[in-house]
Amino acid sequence: MSDVHPIPREFIGSGPLSGTVKVPGDKSISHRSLMFSALAVGHSQVSGLLEGEDVLSTAAALRAMGARIERGDDGIWHIDGVGVGSLLQPTTPLDMGNSGTSARLLMGLVASHAIDTIFIGDDSLSKRPMGRVSVPLSQIGAQFSGTNGDYLPMTVKGVIGAAPIQYRLPIASAQVKSAMMLAALNISGVSEIIEPIATRDHSERMLRGFGADLKVEQDEDGTRHIFVRGEAELKPQNIDVPGDPSSAAFPVVAALITPGSEVRVTNVGMNPTRTGIYKMLIEMGADLTFVNEREVGGEPVADIIAKYSSLSGIDVPPEIAPSMIDEFPIFFVAASMAKGRTMTSGLDELRVKESDRLALMAAGLAAIGARVKEVEDGLIIDGSDGEALAGGAMINSALDHRIAMSFAVAGQNCLNPVAVDDISPIATSFPTFEKMMEELANG
């Protein structure tokens, strides 16, 4: 992204939004479907893959390590895997682009293979810390040498013959959990990853589908123990990726805050570890209906119907944060137009995402007329009671796709245009976002 010319854009509402849309495939599942297919022996197929830049970075890295990955003319992706333990030494650095998921999960993959490589990324990713995975992975003998110790570019040297892992996550992070699970796949014996606070469980669900020997036990206090038997033999699969619930949150909130709107988003993944934002929006009074509920490839799926609603502020419990961690930027937009005060806490993780999302959302919302206070681990927002905000500001997106999309949606209910300094990062996760918003505006 660092060499892409910035694309500024103004956003302003033009009346009610209506229509039926389909959002891109779930980003988390898309990443994992490629990785696990590359580790299976044989031919896997993936339909509905998110073809954003983040996922394409994962595909390119796996190709560099020996997997054959091609997109068919029908949109179905074909992966011929090399098997656990058989990844090849890449001949050039692995470019992660803007994708923290690619970087952290693939570091876990490389850590237990005989691979010595360099991870690089764009300006934004190079400011994100990698210690959360490099420190625990160092315990199995893998070696990490990064810029200023903790940042990309980072040299990673994997290790063969490591002892099984027993690791307790100090923070709630599906990326860290998945990185450790990926490393465990090529370690002889049973590794245990202990998760005090449950996070999205796509890795567990999908690995079972690929035939991994994986068990999950839960204590009375909710602590999860994930046991992975290494030297796994994964079997190829056909995967249908559901729509990304994080992406779906943008048209849903756009409908909730734009008077007269009714929007249907189809085929959205409803994994209970990912639906925190919808639970919180309903608590605020959102008119959301879930229809056509079903299960696809082990993942619950539904269509979401969202209608303009009078929202009320709430206190968001910190324990729900892992199930909506990526959706807080757009949730803050909804809160800024609700009646009364919304309080959030326990969101330290948002300061080390693609950007410091707490600081950027606080500054951006204040610039368009919202009443917001930034605290150490959250935001306190006094809403406008449904009234349009002033708008009329240029927003610094800091190369963060979710910041850019959140303020594009905020512009739907502002008196003056909201300008975003650069919408090009949106392509990392939602390349059809602008087209979708235009279709909903045109009814």
| Whether 326 is catalytic | yes
Q: Binding residue per annotation — 28?
A: yes
Judge whether 104 is annotated as a binding position.
Answer: no
User: Is 145 assigned a ligand-binding role in the annotation?
Assistant: no
- Can you state the angle between helices 100-111 and 174-184, rounded to 10 degrees? 30
143 is in an annotated binding site: no
Contact criterion met (CB below 8 Å) for 144 and 119: no
Rounded CA-CA distance 2/124 in Å is 8
Is 402 annotated among the ligand-binding residues? Answer: yes
Distance of CA 313 to the CA centre of its chain: 25
Please tell me the distance from the alpha carbon of residue 31 to that of residue 247, in angstroms, as a whole number. Answer: 15
Torsion over CA: 404, 407, 412, 417 (sign): negative
**Is 285 labelled as part of a ligand binding site?**
no
Identity of the residue numbered 48: G
Between the two ends of the chain, the Cα-to-Cα distance in Å is: 33
Coil, strand or helix at 59 = helix
Is 177 annotated among the ligand-binding residues? no
User: What DSSP string describes 331-356?
Assistant: HHHHHHTSBSEEE----GGGGGSSS-
Give me 144's structure tokens: 């990490």
Q: Is the Cβ–Cβ distance between 118 and 93 less than 8 Å?
A: yes
Task: Tell me: is residue 27 an annotated ligand-binding position.
Answer: yes
Catalytic residue among 26, 244, 326, 356: 326
Residue 326 annotated as part of some ligand binding site: yes
**Residue positions in the annotated binding site for 3-phosphoshikimate?**
27-28, 32, 173, 175, 326, 353
Residues comprising the binding site? 27-28, 32, 100, 128, 173, 175, 326, 353, 357, 402
Just list the catalytic residues. Answer: 326
Which residues participate in the annotated binding site for phosphoenolpyruvate?
Answer: 27, 100, 128, 175, 357, 402
